[in-house]
Amino acid sequence: MNTKKLAAERAVESIEDGMTVGLGTGSTAYFAIEKLGQRVQEGLTIRAVATSKRSEEQAIGLGIPIVPFAEVGIIDITIDGADEVDRRLQLIKGGGGALLREKIVAARSAKMFVIVGEDKLVDTLGAFPLPVEIVPFAHEWTLDALKGLQLNPELRLADDGERYMTDNGNYIADCRAEAIEDPAALHAELNAIPGVVENGLFVDMAHTVIVGREDGSIDTLTR
């Protein structure tokens, strides 16, 4: 049972004619974009913005109309995945490398629908490494500051062994904490470090979390 696909397709059922939709990035968002493309081909009329180049290319290939950000007021619904979701619907995102753009789009959205398999649900965030996007300039100093927070950062590498570069031309430091008991406090500490662009903690941003389960059932959790 592909629990991510199950949750993604259920989320897309919430999209209605005339909506502006935010398209997330990653393996789960991929299924949502595929289903949304199918609905567009069946006659659904929407417009969309994407959180990464690869999601935009996927959407265009499926006939989903992509519009410039300057033409968008409020996004009705953004559909995206997550790497971890806790019981308060706080998230870790950024495994796909698009956390900054995902957060910008989520902040502009009336509702953020998060789609996950049941394996992503946790009591406390932190088992998944927390991505932090940092600028290349003096990145060694930024990593030192992250070490000062006991986060054990490691620069992410691309498949070719070179440093991973985001669509924004930045690095990602994957940080390892045993448990993140206070996501809001850590979010503020991270973003106060010069050189940190944004971090993968999405605090109080998810409106609805749709969970696909191995038995084929779906749970919907709402803030």
The residue type found at 167 is D
| Residue that is written with structure tokens 């629908």 in the block | 113
pLDDT of res. 178:
83
Span(s) in the chain for CATH 3.40.50.1360? 3-122+203-214
Query: What CATH number does domain 3-122+203-214 carry, 3.40.50.2300, 3.40.50.300, 3.10.450.50, 3.40.50.1360?
Result: 3.40.50.1360
Residue 102 falls in the annotated catalytic set? yes
Residue 69 has what DSSP assignment? Answer: G
- Residue 139 burial (10 A CB sphere; 0-12, 13-18, 19+): middle
Tokens of 69: 């950000």
What residues in the chain have per-residue pLDDT under 70?
A: none
Residues 6 or more apart whose CB falls under 8 angstroms from that of 39 comprise 12, 15
Considering the entire predicted model, what is its pTM? 0.94
Active-site residue identified among 9, 56, 102, 133? 102
Inter-axis angle of helices 3-12 and 27-41, nearest 10: 40
Q: Which fold has domain 130-197?
A: Alpha-Beta Plaits (3.30.70)
pLDDT of res. 67:
97
Residues 6 or more apart whose CB falls under 8 angstroms from that of 127 comprise 84
- 62 closest CA partner among 37, 31, 32: 37
Task: Decide if 208 contacts 8 (C-beta within 8 A).
Answer: no
What is the rounded CA–CA span in Å between residue 60 and residue 198? 28
Span(s) in the chain for CATH 3.30.70.260? 130-197
